[in-house]
Structure 1
Amino acid sequence: MLKAFDGAGDSAEAVVVDGAGLSRERLLGAAGAVAGRIAGASALAVLARPTVETVVATVAGLLAGVPVVPVPPDAGPGERAHILRDSGAPLLAVSAADRDAEAYGAQLLTVDPSERGQAPAEPSDDSGTAFVLYTSGTTGAPKGVVLSRRAIAAGLDGLAEAWAWTPEDTLVHGLPLFHVHGLILGVLGPLRVGGRLLHTGRPTPQGYAAAGGSLYFGVPTVWSRIAADEPAAKALASARLLVSGSAPLPVPVFQRLRELTGQAPIERYGMTETLITLSTRADGERRPGSVGLPLPGVRTRLVAENGETVPHDAESLGELQVSGPTLSDGYLGRPDADTGTRTADGWFRTGDIAVVGPDGFHRIVGRASVDLIKSGGFRIGAGEVEAALRDHPAVLDAAVVGAPDTDLGQVVVAFVVPRGPVTGEQLTAFVAERLSVHKRPRRVVLVPELPRNAMGKVLKQLLLQQC
């Protein structure tokens, strides 16, 4: 999986995290020292702060063939205890700054980036577990997603092809290191292709502008802030690719980035359980609101509630199901959850609603649980209404939910962050002029901001509680 280490002896800094750097040779030596101490462990939990220690510990686990379990640094005691207990990880890798921390619930293993050891050869069995990544737990305690070495290698190689990612690229991002986006794509990606990583610590417009990279990762919140900072955005004009993911990128932000940087951003789609399955291409069309085409080896289909296949006509909604080499091995110790997400013929049910055009381009409408609104016999995609609202010049951001209604079943409620004077009545009329009348919001709530998680996804369950 870390094939870029083969014969690597480059003394230049290959990984820089929040100002601290390591060459490939030093990273391999430090990881080798940790790998020697964890050999034979059932799993290695890693307190995943944005530090070089996190990178060293992650690489050590992969070299030693020990499953890595990233622990969010802001996890509360209950969540942290659940992850450690559920994963069975006996060790928690931390930096020296955290070695005196109490109540972690596991034996602490202090990572020293200056330490040196002989790195073992990577395991030859690519079906072994590389990571157990815990989901956000919106429907109960977080579940551990088991990701094999084979799936991760297939996912990274597919993205390298789609994005023409080479050893000449310097990747810049400031994303959390306990998710697929920031850790697997953002750390293992450059290590696998042989390029360089510059992690900014925090994803600020100023940090991105000063980095001088060729490839940038961000979530919509990051790109929105960069698009609002004209000097920072223009500083990215020399970059080769700007990649957005983890949540839909608002079309106005897409257009503003294209205006200021001279290029349209790449959008891609995936989940912890599937890794990245869809993306626009470096050498292809970059269409606003679209996540592009399946990666090599990935197949997709849209399925209606009655089980019938939905046509690819750019209009019909269906649940997106995927199949291919990037799928996870299921949920750790949760066969019940596996049963609920796998079809009889082996496809993964994403729970996302999408439309696919005749040309194969995919557009994600939203989650079936909160973004498919059934009102008066109509099926309404929340994402379509949100996009229409964002087209209004006085709207900065918007999120749409389906609130329970005794007459219609559900009604469309819009939560809007205004950028200027506007009323709910004006926004309702604006949407009705652009979409079918039944898709107009029945209620508009003006709010100062939308609740989001660390990856920029709107927490719609919190909005539903306000309806």
Structure 2
Amino acid sequence: MSGGELAGLMADCRAGDSLLAKRGSAHISWRDFRAQCAAWRRAFEAHPGQRFALYFEDSADFAAALFGLWHAGKVAYLPGDGLPATVQALKPLVDAMVGDLAGAAVLPQAAQAGLAEADWPPLKPQAEQLVIFTSGSTAAPLAIGKRLGQLFSEVASLERVFGGRLGAKAEVLSTVSHQHIYGLLFRVLWPLAAGRVFHARRYAFVEEIAAALPPDGGALLIASPAHLRRLPAVSLHDLRAVFSSGGPLPDEALPDCLRLLGQAPIEVFGSSETGGIAWRQRNPQAPSSWSPLPGVEWRIEEDLLEIRSPHLPAFTWLSTADRACALGASFELMGRADRLLKIEEKRVSVAAIEAALLATACLSELRVLSLRKTAGGREQLAVVAVPSERGWAMYEELGKKGFGDYLRKQLLQSLEPVSAPRRWRFVSRLPFNSQGKSTQRELLALFDPLRPTARLLQLTATRAELSLLAEAGLPQFDGHFDGHPVLPGVAQVDWAIRFGRECFTTLPAKFVAMEGLKFQQVITPGMTLSLQLDYKPEAAQLAFKFSSGRGAHASGRLLFGGAD
């Protein structure tokens, strides 16, 4: 089946016992899937609403609900996560929540006899039945409506370009979420169209992939640049292909990919707004040019890339914010043209700030953003940065403020004072979401005054170790107690949850209960703390332990769950 035939997927006559997906050791058949789709379809048809927010951790459950909803003629809104703030923002946009969202009000119903086997008219390609959200990398996420035909066309082009090298039996494993356009297409819709088995679970850590590979090694990995630039020392040479999208894969990540994966990732360039545009598979000795996907036309106008594509709402020319130059039948990207911020009525180049800071050799990675100093006040520049080995040594010697002042002083040698950031956050790795992107929300959260200065020392799929500084100026010390400030227990639990969510992106959105809380010693201003987090995904449990040179301070277990 090609991507264009996704419209008739539910009427496909493939064998009922054929394997559709894997959920750990459990197998999901085509018959099981159609029955589940039918149950969801009946539930959506019985609901008076038209717009539904869908959020599932499990890709097989998500796919069944999505096709049930589409066949009921309803519209799916796909939030990027299930956090309370996201649910609150969705409420004015939708008629009901579905899946692992708090307050979910729609549940699958028993299907009518025979509905799983018949009565599945084709979906309408012109129907606008999907709303996705931009990643929020530079601003608040924006809602983007999609016609089904845009999705079906893109799936067909992916199979046309890559299907031959993958084969029909390759299993699909992913480190990215299906709640975003990249994961939706590559992790769910494309495997369904091509008849490839997909894994229902998202693998948050690349090292988990090795244990999940099928015995014959016939698998492909859907990953992000954030995952591929931090590959563990695990050989994954048996993978048939590795895909990367959602942002540029840094040049420095390529050697590790070649060494540990045995191949360069296939990079796909595009966005939520444009759909897929082009692809490349880099060779260290060859130019890094991009080849357009089938059906995508392109041209360069005033150094900007323009495209015309069936993946767009209309087949008309669209100017992107990507600078490019033509290389025969392919093109090379030259950076973004929109990387300007306006501070005190002056345009400030983000690229210039990044280049100047990286030139100090004190930072290995960074993001520049603007913050409002006060409500209604002027904006100021801020930096979230990962120090290099040299940078961490200076951080330890000078302290956070002193290190930030040093970097600002270096910037003032080449930039105007208005261009020099005033706020700094130094982290062991940039925060990223389930798509491997450092979004505006994750970056801004680092400047929350309630968040202590933290350094990540170790991170695996189930354990994290951090060093925290309980600074005297933290608001949590206010009122606890006059003359003898101590950190209240509720703040310690809040820190455990906060850093648990930062370290383990599969931690369920809903906090359920606490167990075994112990508070052995008080925490006072200025103390450096060690925080150990142990995550049990199968039990949705997060154990925490605070300690210092004085010994243990607090410990306990936190339980999480899905929707009500």
TM-score normalised by the chain length of structure 1: 0.71
Summarize the alignment of residues 56-455 of structure 1 with structure 2, pairs less than 5 Å apart.
Answer: 56-76=64-84, 79-87=86-94, 90-94=95-99, 101-102=102-103, 107-110=105-108, 117-118=115-116, 120-123=119-122, 125-136=124-135, 142-164=141-163, 165-212=166-213, 213-225=218-230, 227=231, 229-231=232-234, 234=235, 236-280=236-280, 290=288, 292-303=290-301, 309-310=302-303, 318=304, 320-328=305-313, 346-350=316-320, 352-359=321-328, 360-363=330-333, 365-366=335-336, 368-370=338-340, 381=351, 385=355, 389=358, 396-399=364-367, 416-422=385-391, 447-448=426-427, 449-455=429-435
* Inter-partner Cα distance in structure 2 for 1:252 and 1:70: 33
Structure 1 residue 364, shift from structure 2 partner: 5.9
Alignment gaps of 5+ in structure 2: 373-379, 395-402, 448-564
Structure 1 residue 412, shift from structure 2 partner: 11
Aligned partners of 1:162 and 1:295 also within 8 Å: yes
Larger mean CA deviation between 47-56 and 116-125 belongs to 116-125
* 1:55 corresponds to: 63
* Inter-partner Cα distance in structure 1 for 2:371 and 2:39: 55
* Inter-partner Cα distance in structure 1 for 2:91 and 2:421: 43
CA deviation vs aligned residue, 1:363-383 (integer Å, no higher than 9, x gap):
26246145899xx99978469
Structure 1 residue 389, shift from structure 2 partner: 4.3
CA deviation vs aligned residue, 1:322-365 (integer Å, no higher than 9, x gap):
32100147xxxxxxxxxxxxxxx943344x33323424233262
Letter in 2 for 1:262: G
* Inter-partner Cα distance in structure 2 for 1:112 and 1:367: 53
Aligned partners of 1:366 and 1:372 also within 8 Å: no
Structure 1 residue 384, shift from structure 2 partner: 8.7
* Inter-partner Cα distance in structure 2 for 1:384 and 1:162: 36
Question: SS of 2:158's equivalent?
Answer: helix
* Inter-partner Cα distance in structure 2 for 1:191 and 1:221: 26
* 2:537 corresponds to: none
* Inter-partner Cα distance in structure 2 for 1:72 and 1:401: 21
**Which of residues 30, 34, 37 in structure 2 aligns to 1:28?**
34
* Inter-partner Cα distance in structure 2 for 1:385 and 1:61: 48
* Inter-partner Cα distance in structure 1 for 2:267 and 2:278: 9
Structure 1 residue 250, shift from structure 2 partner: 1.8
TM-score normalised by the chain length of structure 2: 0.60
Larger CA Rg, structure 1 vs 2: 2
* Inter-partner Cα distance in structure 2 for 1:34 and 1:199: 18
- Residue 203 to residue 139, structure 1, CA distance change in 2 (3 Å): closer
**Residue 438 of structure 2 corresponds to residue 458 of structure 1:** yes
- Residue 401 to residue 251, structure 1, CA distance change in 2 (3 Å): farther
* 1:313 corresponds to: none
Letter in 1 for 2:426: V
* Structure whose residues are more often strand by fraction: 2
- Residue 54 to residue 323, structure 1, CA distance change in 2 (3 Å): same
Alpha-carbon RMSD: 4.5
CA deviation vs aligned residue, 1:116-135 (integer Å, no higher than 9, x gap):
84254243531112311133
* Inter-partner Cα distance in structure 1 for 2:306 and 2:132: 21
- Residue 179 to residue 446, structure 1, CA distance change in 2 (3 Å): closer
- Residue 420 to residue 369, structure 1, CA distance change in 2 (3 Å): closer
CA deviation vs aligned residue, 1:83-138 (integer Å, no higher than 9, x gap):
34324xx343326xx7xx54x5xx4224789x984254243531112311133567
Question: SS of 1:22's equivalent?
Answer: strand
- Residue 355 to residue 72, structure 1, CA distance change in 2 (3 Å): closer
Alignment gaps of 5+ in structure 1: 304-308, 311-317, 330-344, 405-410
* 2:53 corresponds to: 45
